[in-house]
Amino acid sequence: MTISKGDKLPDVTLVKATSEGPEKVQSSDYFAGKKVALFSVPGAFTPTCSAKHLPGFVEKASDLKAKGVDEIACTAVNDAFVMGAWNDSKGSKDITMLADGNGDFAEALGLTMDGSGFGMGKRGQRFSMIVDDGTVTEINVEAPGDFKVSSADHMLGQL
């Protein structure tokens, strides 16, 4: 079952990319007591993700925070080292990278995709959501190959 507006996020272990190295975090702890703009990409360093998705959130970070967002987080089925390197090269300190290396979070959300045709295996779909104290208040799932509703600009219109 796919997560919906009004649902609580599933409680799984993610790995936060930090300057000190990978740090395990429970999703229930990370999302508690704050409003988070969360976006998911099929893979760090992939074309649309690097050229449009992440840069949009970097560019609009202050606008999102001005509208009440406490944190901006990105997740992908990649390890914390890749997510950290991607943030170092294309991101900013305003984005928290949450690695979903085994795809447990994407699976628990019901938002997986099969990237085997591209040599990527099971991945998370491209989506964004606003999470308020662990509850999904907005969710935007892209159709395969699209980049429209999961953008920072679209999310700004929802806040």
Cite the active site residues. 49
Whole-angstrom distance, CA of residue 62 vs CA of residue 57: 9
* Residue 96 token pair: 């928290």
